[in-house]
Amino acid sequence: MGQYTAKQTVLIVAFVLIFLFSLAFVFNQYLRPYLESSSSTPTSESKEITISYTALKKNTIIWSGGFGSYSEQPDLDKVFLEVNITISNNGYDSFSTNPFYFYAIADNIKYNHDFNTYNLNMWETVDVLDGGTFHGTLVFQIPESASSFTLGYEVYFITYDIVWNKM
């Protein structure tokens, strides 16, 4: 017991090497981008996401479908907030436009995007690469009485330096 044949030793060494290379690949492909983007150490290059937007309150959303035009009404005591957004990526590998990452805050309540974002067909879920710019429209429902709102972006495991420009 405890003695291995040359063939068994070669197989064990090969298995260990494959395992180590697999770990290195997983770290390099999946974990390193998260660790680098959340690092608090200063770098020589400046990274930021610039999000410029205009917003308009609406009582009705009109959209076109396969069988004509349709009109949507907001929930009781709510209005639609149609937000036209321009996103510029300056320095990050990528920035996701997944609408589930965006929110609006009105009267200290956080609101997710409204399904009418999809009806307008003016938003795509894409990755904006470094140097890229994206334009689209998100829709939220906020209280009719809200006099102001703020936008936000939240994704787990990654922190971006976002500059918000309300136009």
Confidence of residue 2 (pLDDT cuts 50, 70, 90): low
For residue 35, give every residue at least 6 positions away whose Cβ sits within 8 Å of its Cβ, in sequence order, or none: none
pLDDT of the residue at 38: 47
Chain segment 54-85, per-residue pLDDT in tens: 999 999 998 887 788 889 999 999 999 999 99
Q: Please state, as a whole number, how many other Cβ atoms lie within 10 Å of the Cβ of residue 3.
A: 6
For residue 133, give every residue at least 6 positions away whose Cβ sits within 8 Å of its Cβ, in sequence order, or none: 86, 87, 88, 89
Average per-residue pLDDT for the chain: 85
Rounded CA separation 96/117 (Å): 16
pLDDT of the residue at 42: 41
Q: What 3-state class would DSSP assign to 44?
A: coil
For residues 108-135, average pLDDT? 95
Rounded CA separation 91/84 (Å): 23
Q: Please state, as a whole number, how many other Cβ atoms lie within 10 Å of the Cβ of residue 139.
A: 25
What are the Cα distances from residue 132, in Å, to 65, 86, 123, 138, 145?
30, 11, 16, 19, 37
Q: Report the Cα–Cα distance between both ends of the chain, in Å, rounded.
A: 77
Chain segment 29-53, per-residue pLDDT in tens: 555 555 554 444 444 479 999 999 9
For residues 4-11, average pLDDT? 74
- Running DSSP on this structure, what letter comes out for residue 153? E
For residues 8-32, average pLDDT? 61
